[in-house]
Chains A and B, each alone.
Chain A
Amino acid sequence: MKAIQKIGLGGFLLALLLFNALLFMGQFRLTEAQLQEAVKQEHVEVLRQELQPMLGKTYTSSFSFATDFNRLLDNYNEEQQRSQQWDRVIWDDYAFALARVASQGFVENNKLLLLFLTVIMGAAGALLYILPQHRGEPAGIRNNGVMFSSNKSRGMVGITIGVYLTAIYVLLYWYPEYIVNWALLVDPLSYTLAGGPASQWFLYGTIYTLAILVMGVRMFRKYKGNNYQLLRTASVMFFQLSFAFLIPEILVVLNLPWYDLKNIWPLDYDFFFEYSVASMLGSGSAGLFLFIWGILLIIVAVPLFTYFYGKRWYCSWVCGCGGLAETAGDPYRHLSDKSLKAWKVERWMVYPILVIITVITLLTIANYFTEFALLKQSTDMLHQWYGFLIGAAFAGVVGVGFYPLMGNRVWCRFGCPLAAYIGIVQRFKSRFRITTNGGQCISCGNCSTYCEMGIDVRWYAQRGQNIVRASCVGCGICASVCPRGVLKLENGPEQGRITDIPFLTGNESIKVLN
């Protein structure tokens, strides 16, 4: 390792350490005025009474603050429930909002400095480490030592990172009040971009985008000379930065709903839920445009682009989940399970999830058009459960948290209903396939090993069969790591695309007789 890389890695680790230490810093002191400002009018009076022991008290960490708050609120809610006064129960989640306004002291006063010392220094350190990689080496992909790496082959480092990422997702989704200090960090950025304070989701978007950009640069180094990989990586970096990060904030500034223009139902599972539709249709003609755009993506863009280019046009060139998987997740791509059993599990998971969200969506729409006579408010419960189990637990916690344990496409492979939908189109009506080059396969296994979707590519290649699989996201790594030039991603005529009865070019003995 070069000295500059050591400095970079050191800087990154220091920034990470400080970033985590931040959670234990700062002070929290809630005043009456702040309470009034942060909660709904109808709750002010109740909360002022219930939170009386907290008001004016100084807490030295968000943990003690949140613990006290949750205890007091739970006590109140339990009491109301016991006395069956359901309408008095406070369902709103105020913990994050109150912790935010109550924060003061070191973190609150040094946001910009701390942003620089954690997020920016971390990204810069990572880049210092990454940029000199493979310098002076001829172009070519080297997976040297991947199987010996503790990080990349489920060693202690890998498991630690997996646990850490999982924990972060759990905090982010269900206990955001504990990471209030992280959200404070990105306040300066949020004010610049959107003119308001940062939520935990703005924080998440910032880190997510940075991860794709920094690790995208790593892809440029690792796959230098491979134009397909370079362009594909540039594409996901572009779509994440603009479509997923900047444009939605600009929409908000323009008084439109926060909307990621490349997120497609059913991955964007709440697109047709009442509140989304209402917020789009309530935003004038631009909102109507967003609504029509979203529908066109589902019924026109997906079938059309998938027919011409395969699933890859979305999953490995555009999608945000795919973007993170293909950049930050690239070091873990070989950890996907290639067994036949895993393939069976995959089919029994991903298609039922597509069916479930389709049914939920149809019920919601039917309910809407019958003016809630059909199911009343019970679709809300369906939405919450789907959001909790699939949207948060599966897509987030397992999807990213388990990168170092199960590979970088766990969500895309086993859970994503959009991937399932596009996959069906790819399997049955598309020009895309991975062509096998005659009889040149030597069964070495690099293709299968590095397939993030767990496709046993070799099984097809060694029998001279084209690879046409619903799950293939067209990342092209199989073709890139093939040492004998056996695989090629192609869009071509549908005729001859599926070779069910393949034969291996080169042996005339049997053809002569058959």
Chain B
Amino acid sequence: MREPHATGDFCIRTPGRRIVIIGNGISGITCARHIRKRDSEAYITIISGETEHFFSRTALMYIFMGHMTYAHTKPYEDWFWEKNRLHLVHDWVTRINFDQKELQLQQQEPLHYDILILALGSKPNKFGWPGQELQGVQGLYSYQDLQMMNDTTTNCQRAVIVGGGLIGVEMAEMLLSRNIPVTFLVREEGFWRSILPKEESELVMRHLREHHVDLRLNTELKAIRDNGSGRVQAVVTTAGEEIACGFVGLAVGVQPNIKLVRDTALEVNKGILVDQHFATNIPNVFAIGDCAEYRVPVPQRQSIEQVWYTGRMHGETLAHSLTHQPVKYTPGPWFNSAKFFDIEYQTYGMVPNRWEEPVDSFYWEHAEGRIAFRAVFNGEDNRLHGVNGLGMRLRHEFFDQALRENWTVEQVLVKLGQANFDPEFYDRHHREMLQAYNQQFGTNLELEKKEKKGLLSYFWR
């Protein structure tokens, strides 16, 4: 596809320009903050109907579980916005007039903009199941979703979750924290198999079962049954089984939330089409975060990136383009993280769920089956493609450097001591891991010794 913009006339740069951001999630807020850092004159407005203040969407589950209150999930105190002259408008945008550069709001007066940044986020997928609009059937994305989930699960005897991914496992953990038994329908043969290799998926599934999640693999949702008064009563699977439940969590992914801009002059596909500068087809209108779709994806990446970290980077990058010279979105090596109940997951670089020659893989799992490490690499030159860590913490900077500098898997494995980010006094496994590699690949590698530098080292040196 074409790249419609030259960088010359990138955006309006008059002092005191009115920059309006729709959406106060991580993308929109990061963008606003970074614009303010470099442009003290711009008039910056952030509109959101969801909540007045920015909160951490990833922490919604912890509100439900009682680990935190909503107030705890706000990364900045409420005075922060006024102090930094980031004007907050708590309202829904109903219509955008791109010709007049004007926004219609549900409650308040229309707003004019010089530059418009769309950070509209996502909404949960629903695939047209019968009964998907019943009470007690929902996804989990927004603060309103959380409130609804809180209300509809009060007297729930059993919940069914559809979709084996991250939101699904979060919902399972949330419900179980309130002692609501969970049946988890997974379409694939394993949990999150579209992303995780078989062994990792199995490790996580063992852990889910430890937490008494009723896991149903190769099982799809066929329909949701009404109890006669508009509430869910049961789900029916494609195998014909009926499972009685009072709540159905739909966690089958999300899609860009672009209802606001459908059928306008703005070019959209699944998301709002943007170039590498996040510019849309309309000058001075940009889209970032979950709702943006690249016309030309960054190599090895999806055309829509729906991750906290990418949303943040979009915001940082666009803010730089709007206040300095335009710069293309150039993310470094991929990384992501999650937590499956008690097992943390971190990944750096590209670890596919399946691979073929010449790609090779080294997998190590602790005897107790709760800790695992995988390195995927090119079997010919041993160049590292990526790693997965489960139940262990890995140092981001270490793998960022290793991946940028094209280290081999062996270079990484002998330095695993430095890559470890586990808390102090935790068992170290890198010696065992290296041994496993040596056995599997017939090598004779040894760990690089790190000089000791504690108080004790001063005594026996």
Q: Known contacts being A438-B397, A489-B424, A513-B320, is A146 close to B67, with CB within 8 Å?
A: yes
On whether the beta carbons of B312 and A504 are closer than 8 Å, the reply is yes
Q: With a CB–CB cut-off of 8 A, which chain A residues contact B66?
A: 143-149
On whether the beta carbons of B73 and A445 are closer than 8 Å, the reply is yes
Chain B positions 326-381 with a Cβ under 8 Å from a chain A Cβ: 327-333, 335, 337-339, 341-342, 344, 346, 370
CB distance from A292 to the nearest CB of B (A): 22
Dominant SS among interface residues on chain B:
loop
A83 within 8 A of B: no
Interface string of B377-415 (1 = CB under 8 A from A): 000000000000000011111001000000000000000
CA distance A93 to B337 in the complex (A): 63
On whether the beta carbons of B67 and A446 are closer than 8 Å, the reply is yes
**Closest residue of chain B to A493, judged by CB?**
B453
Interface string of B47-71 (1 = CB under 8 A from A): 0000000001011001101111100
A373 within 8 A of B: no
Q: Give the tally of cross-chain contacts (CB within 8 A).
A: 174
A444 within 8 A of B: yes
Interface string of A76-92 (1 = CB under 8 A from B): 00000000000000000
On whether the beta carbons of A228 and B423 are closer than 8 Å, the reply is yes
Chain A residues touching B, range: 35 or more
**Closest residue of chain B to A232, judged by CB?**
B425
On whether the beta carbons of A147 and B425 are closer than 8 Å, the reply is no
On whether the beta carbons of A446 and B75 are closer than 8 Å, the reply is no
CB distance from B206 to the nearest CB of A (A): 10
Interface size on B, residues (CB 8 A): 61
Q: With a CB–CB cut-off of 8 A, which chain A residues contact B72?
A: 445, 448-449
**Closest residue of chain A to B329, judged by CB?**
A509
Q: With a CB–CB cut-off of 8 A, which chain B residues contact A483?
A: 339, 344
Interface string of A220-235 (1 = CB under 8 A from B): 0000001110010000
A145, A149, A489, A506: most-surrounded residue (chain B CB, <10 A): A506
CB distance from B330 to the nearest CB of A (A): 4
On whether the beta carbons of B68 and A508 are closer than 8 Å, the reply is no
On whether the beta carbons of A509 and B339 are closer than 8 Å, the reply is no
Taking a contact as CB atoms closer than 8 A, the residue among B211, B308, B331, B332 that contacts A138 in the complex is B211
**Closest residue of chain A to B324, judged by CB?**
A513
CA distance A509 to B324 in the complex (A): 13
CA distance A409 to B75 in the complex (A): 23
A512 within 8 A of B: yes
On whether the beta carbons of B425 and A506 are closer than 8 Å, the reply is no
B74, B207, B308, B421: most-surrounded residue (chain A CB, <10 A): B421
A437 within 8 A of B: yes
On whether the beta carbons of B330 and A508 are closer than 8 Å, the reply is yes
Q: With a CB–CB cut-off of 8 A, which chain B residues contact A443?
A: 26, 56, 58-59, 75
On whether the beta carbons of B337 and A440 are closer than 8 Å, the reply is yes
A299 within 8 A of B: no
Known contacts A148-B66, A438-B396; 18 additional CB pairs below 8 A are A139-B342, A140-B341, A146-B67, A147-B67, A227-B427, A228-B426, A231-B425, A339-B77, A437-B393, A437-B421, A444-B62, A459-B75, A485-B346, A489-B424, A493-B453, A505-B396, A507-B312, A509-B320
Q: List 19 A-B contacts (CB under 8 A).
A: A138-B342, A143-B65, A144-B67, A144-B177, A146-B67, A228-B424, A340-B77, A437-B395, A442-B56, A442-B58, A442-B59, A443-B75, A446-B62, A449-B68, A489-B424, A507-B313, A507-B330, A508-B330, A510-B320
